[in-house]
């Protein structure tokens, strides 16, 4: 039973850390976009979820996935 409780505690910790890291990535992107883009280019403001998915998409598209030199 103790192993199960440790597993659940670890799982909850990972989920909470994921949420905190996602917020730390998405919130600055959302505020920077909402401050600059509507005023300069007339684009609409974005939501937290749009900022999060946009950040993740850029991470996947623009990072080097090769492990070699």
Q: What is the pLDDT of residues 16-60, one digit of tens each?
A: 999 999 899 999 999 999 999 999 999 999 999 999 999 989 888
Higher-pLDDT residue of 10 and 69 is: 10
> pLDDT-based confidence at 69, cuts 50/70/90?
low
Question: Is the CB of residue 24 less than 8 Å from the CB of residue 48?
Answer: no
Domain spans in the chain, listed from the N-terminal domain onward? 2-57
33, 45 in Cβ contact below 8 A? yes
Which pLDDT score, from 0 to 100, does residue 15 have?
96
**Mean pLDDT, rounded, for 3-13:** 94
Q: Report if pTM > 0.75.
A: no
68 pLDDT exceeds 70? no
């Amino acid at each position: 039973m103790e192993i199960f409780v440790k597993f659940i505690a670890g799982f909850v910790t990972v989920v909470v850390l994921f949420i905190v890291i996602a917020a730390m990535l998405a919130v600055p992107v959302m505020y920077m976009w909402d401050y600059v883009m509507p005023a300069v280019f007339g684009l609409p403001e974005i939501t937290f979820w749009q900022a999060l998915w946009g950040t993740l998409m850029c991470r996947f598209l623009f990072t080097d996935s090769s492990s070699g030199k």
